Amino acid sequence: MDSNTVVPNGKLPSEAQYRDNLILGLSRVSARHGRGQVADKSGRTTRALDKLFSGGSHDTTGKGLLDFLAADLTALDEVLALYGVGIRPLRNEAANDLHTISSLSNLAGQFAAALEDGHRCHVETLQLADAARPLMKALGAICSEADQIKGAA
């Protein structure tokens, strides 16, 4: 599916698109954190998570779906992209600022390395997106905090 595709003309995503994008996001998060940690943090057993991956479970709505955010705030990005929206935290912990700036520096280095040959291939694009996705959440939280300080939120 085209990453720029949003819900066309008010049409809702199909069940297959929804499921594929959910599994894509959960696979990405599981590769980063490990299936056990994703299962634990989302209030599931690894068996229940495995059933979801294999198609044996369709428990992907409501609270059960949102519980994946406890494992990783980017877990639902691919699903939400089908609707043209995203999630960002309302607050950022100041203690995470050092991690955020360190990650930004690392991302800049990865970006520069990807462009050393004059172009960015699809593999590099995927790697950059995986590194940038959590940073977008952290930076969005800083913007939200600033809006609250200004009284805009």
Q: What is the tens place of the pLDDT at every residue in 54-78?
A: 887 766 778 889 999 999 988 999 9
Lowest model confidence (mean pLDDT) among 19-23, 45-49, 132-136, 137-141? 137-141
Percentage of residues of the chain with pLDDT beyond 90: 43
Residue 134 pLDDT: 83
Tokens of residue 36, six digits: 């056990």
Q: Which helix (H) or strand (E) holds 6?
A: none
Residue 27 pLDDT: 93
* DSSP structure class, residue 115: T
Tokens of residue 22, six digits: 């959910």
Q: Dihedrals φ, ψ of 70, to 5°?
A: -70, -25
pTM score > 0.75 for this model? no
Q: Which ranges of 8-121 does DSSP label H, i.e. alpha helix? A: 15-33, 35-41, 46-54, 62-66, 77-81, 97-114
CA 41/CA 44 separation, integer angstroms: 8
Please state, rounded to an integer, the average pLDDT across all residues of the chain: 85
Residue indicated by tokens 């950059």? 128
Q: Is the pLDDT of residue 1 over 50?
A: no
Tokens of residue 143, six digits: 């913007």
